[in-house]
Amino acid sequence: MSDKRQPAFPTTINREIVRGMTLRDYFAAKALPAIYTESTIVDESYATPIEIAEQAYLMADAMLFAREDKA
């Protein structure tokens, strides 16, 4: 399974695996506050929500890449 689709918090309900959000989504969500803060404090030309989300997923992809190296 590609790391991008790996579940962050898999669980079993009635013997069925419930996958929930992906690890990529989880990493992006964790990176989002720092990226948002940086984009609004550092420069006065505020980034759009789409640009901030794209940056969060770029960071998540980098985290997944770094993780592959360690596996």
User: Domains in the chain: how many in total?
Assistant: 1
pLDDT of residue 68: 84
Distance CA 65, CA 13 (A): 31
Burial of residue 42 (number of CB atoms within 10 Å: 0-12, 13-18, 19+): exposed
Q: Which domain holds residue 13?
A: 3-70
pTM: 0.71
What is the pLDDT at residue 56? 95
3-class secondary structure, 8: coil
pLDDT at 37: 81
The CA–CA distances, whole Å, from 28 to 18, 45, 65 equal 20, 22, 13
The pLDDT tens digits of the residues spanning 5-63 come to: 777 777 777 777 767 788 999 999 999 999 888 776 655 667 888 989 999 999 999 99
Element (H, E) at 26: helix 23-41
